[in-house]
Chain A
Amino acid sequence: EDQVTQSPEALRLQEGESSSLNCSYTVSGLRGLFWYRQDPGKGPEFLFTLYSAGEEKEKERLKATLTKKESFLHITAPKPEDSATYLCAVQDRRETSGSRLTFGEGTQLTVNP
């Protein structure tokens, strides 16, 4: 069974204080690892897809990296508007799984001005 564990559960940063969020995963055969941002009461917003170990993707202050066992979401010089819950999800290659995403519990990030 696919599993995704995210840490920390919650993270408070000062504006400009860089940090990283962790996503550890277990999957029989990884098709893709996904990062989403979710604001309270809203639907998850797609950020990145990573397909293979060593891959990196960047968008503004966010950079996602992937190894064979985990992914990191690095946040550089965050701003208050980066406050949200960040979700990690995996998709495995098995036919029986269809294209479902298995999500972690998320990291709730708060950036104080």
Chain B
Amino acid sequence: DSGVTQTPKHLITATGQRVTLRCSPRSGDLSVYWYQQSLDQGLQFLIQYYNGEERAKGNILERFSAQQFPDLHSELNLSSLELGDSALYFCASNRDGFYEQYFGPGTRLTVT
């Protein structure tokens, strides 16, 4: 158990809908990262937050957005969902001075 929690574990929704994925980092970790893992693209970085501020952005679609709240939990919002958005979404966290990231169990999103 990495100490990073994600909810829900599974999400099934229809095209065009909007969903919110939630992540709680390890205690003491200020940085939160979101990654997408699909069968054809491997693990891809989406976005990083540090203590409530956006720090870095990857190839995150405009339909996707994220935020980190004062209690350091983070949410990833996915809207106008398409079939191709079906994937595993992972959250990771780390603390200042340490570069390794610890991953949560993921949310499996299925868009039908």
Using CB atoms and an 8 Å cutoff, list the residues of chain A in contact with chain B.
Answer: 31-32, 34, 36, 41-46, 49, 87, 89, 91, 96-106
Residues of B within 8 A of A100 (CB): 33, 45, 48, 56, 58
Q: How far is the CA of A32 from the CA of B100 in the complex (A)?
A: 9
B105 touches A42 (CB 8 A): yes
Using CB atoms and an 8 Å cutoff, list the residues of chain B in contact with chain A.
Answer: 2, 4, 31, 33, 35, 42-45, 48, 50, 55-56, 58, 88, 90, 92, 94, 99-106, 108
* Least CB distance, B80 to chain A, in whole angstroms: 25
Partner pick for B45 among A43, A45, A101, A105, CB 8 A cutoff = A101
A98 touches B48 (CB 8 A): yes
Known contacts A41-B108, A100-B48, A46 near B56 by CB under 8 Å: no
Residues of B within 8 A of A49 (CB): 99-100
- Give 5 new A-B contacts, CB below 8 A, not counting A43-B104, A43-B105, A100-B45: A43-B103, A43-B106, A89-B43, A101-B43, A101-B45
